[in-house]
């Protein structure tokens, strides 16, 4: 049985390739056949099938066979898990740091403006 950490390792590896990210973007719009994905990417079906195999392994894509056609669907759950595990935990820290930076910059700007006024009046 894989742990969540091991499952997310597969997701990170799948997301590391720009063609696989493009496939996910295409599937985000709507499910597509392997042929339609190959056409949109300008790649041959064999290359797209290899990318899809890795995306399936990472559980980012699910496939439904309809006769000879294979319809590929985006599964956003692993991306949500990455968000919850990595982005969500640090989002509050980042927002707090940005607010602190904003206050610091605004304070410095206000201080400079006040000093310039004193010099020009003095």
Dihedral sign, CA of 41, 75, 86, 6?
negative
Give the strands of the sheet with 32-33, arranged side by side: 32-33, 69-74, 61-66
Judged against a pLDDT cut of 90, whether residue 52 lies above it is answered with yes
- Please indicate whether residue 104 or residue 45 has the higher confidence score (pLDDT): 45
Q: Mean pLDDT score of the chain, rounded to an integer?
A: 86
pLDDT, one tens digit per residue, over 1-39 is 555 556 689 999 999 999 999 999 999 999 999 999 999
pLDDT, one tens digit per residue, over 31-50 is 999 999 999 999 999 999 99
The percentage of the chain sitting over the pLDDT mark of 70, rounded to a whole number, equals 84
pLDDT at 115: 67
**Nearest to 33, CA basis, from 7, 63, 60:** 63
pLDDT at 106: 83
0.85 cut: is pTM over it? no
**Pairing, β 69-74 against β 61-66:** antiparallel
């Amino acid at each position: 049985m894989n742990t969540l950490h091991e499952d997310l390792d597969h997701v990170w590896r799948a997301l590391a390739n720009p063609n696989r990210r493009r496939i996910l973007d295409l599937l985000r719009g709507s499910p597509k056949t392997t042929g339609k994905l190959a056409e949109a990417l300008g790649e041959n079906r064999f290359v797209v099938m290899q990318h899809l195999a890795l995306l399936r392994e990472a559980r980012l894509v699910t496939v439904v066979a309809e006769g000879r056609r294979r319809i590929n669907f985006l599964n956003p759950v692993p991306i949500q898990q990455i968000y919850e595990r990595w982005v969500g935990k640090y989002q509050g820290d980042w927002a707090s740091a940005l607010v602190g930076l904003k206050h610091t910059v605004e304070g410095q700007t206000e201080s400079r403006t006040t000093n310039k006024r004193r010099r020009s009046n003095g």
